[in-house]
Structures are given as C-alpha cells and as structure tokens.
Amino acid sequence: MTTIFVNPRERTRFFRFLVVGLIGAFVDFGIENLLHRLFGLPYVLSGAISFICAITSNFFWNRYWTYPDSRSKPIIKQLIQFTIVNATGLVIRLPILKYLEPVITKLFYSLPGNWLFLPPDSMGENVTLAIAVVIVLFWNFFVNRYWTYSDVQ
C-alpha cells in the first residue's frame, strides 16, 4: 500500500481508479433505478443487470485510462480476471452489509435524534455502505493492479 503514496505513477493510477469507481457507481445506480423504477423490472434482476453494466464500464475505463499500458494481455482474459475480482468484491461486500448494518443502525438509534441529519436506519445503512465500499475499493484496486493489470510496469 505504501507504493501508492510513494510512487507518483501508482498514486495517479489509484486516483484514476477512484474516478472510474465513481463513474461505475453512477452507471450502477442509474441503470438500476431506470430498470426498476421506470420499467418495473424486479429489484434483484435490475440490480444484477446494473452491476454487470458497471463492471463493463469500469473495465474499459481502467483498461484505456487508468492502465493504458496494460494491453499486452488479451482483452477477454483481462475482462474475465476483472470480473472475477469485482464479483469477489461483491461477495466481500454483502456480508458486511448484512451483518454490520444492524450493529451500526443500533448505535445510531442510541444517539440523540438531534445529532443525526437522517433517520437512524438511513444513517446505519449509509455508514455501513461507506465502510463496505472502502474495504472493497482496496481489495479491487490491489488485486486488479497485481493480477488483472500485472503487465503494467
């Protein structure tokens, strides 16, 4: 992890990876809401489709912008590796959301209401999601950097 902060090239890649992640979040939330709320697809199906779209978007942004020098590997192999890493990130994320959210929500219910800017259940969900996003961010970055984009110097 220290190479991110010491090596300017790795630091640039990490910040680009963050930007790509934000783009992916917009793709994920936008498509999920469009399919579920506008077209009435079931939540799980629209969420699965939006996740696939976000992974695809992130892959191409990372391949061509974050790691433009990573194209010595065949694109299909790299896409499969990227998908495996991100799907594993989802597997890491789900238990965090399931098991940590009730604990954090309970903590927010114990605080005085005037300290919160959202209802305690919303605070619990959002703080838990933020924790999960940070954990999975580092998983995705490091595994993708050293496996999917291992051909980059």
Q: What is the pLDDT of residues 89-99, one digit of tens each?
A: 988 988 888 89
Q: What value does the mean pLDDT take over residues 112-128? A: 81
Q: At what angle do helices 75-95 and 43-61 cross, to 10 degrees?
A: 130
pLDDT at 109: 92
SS3 category, 74? coil
Task: Give the span between the Cα atoms of 55 and 25, in whole angstroms.
Answer: 10
Contact 62, 20 (CB under 8 A): yes
Read off the pLDDT of residues 18-29 as tens digits, 9 standing for 90 and up.
Answer: 999 999 988 988
pLDDT at 132: 87
> Which candidate, 35, 29, 24, places its Cα nearest to that of 59?
24
Domain boundaries, the chain: 6-68, 72-153
Q: Is the pLDDT of residue 75 over 80?
A: yes
Structure confidence at residue 3 (pLDDT)? 66
Task: Output the six-digit token pair for 46.
Answer: 């629209």
CA distances from 1 to 14, 21, 141 (A): 10, 18, 10
pLDDT at 82 (0 to 100): 93
The reported pLDDT for the residue numbered 93 is 85
Higher pLDDT, 11 or 44: 11
For the chain, give percent helix, strand, coil, nearest 5: 85, 0, 15
What's the token pair of residue 132?
């999960």
pLDDT at 2: 52
pTM: 0.78
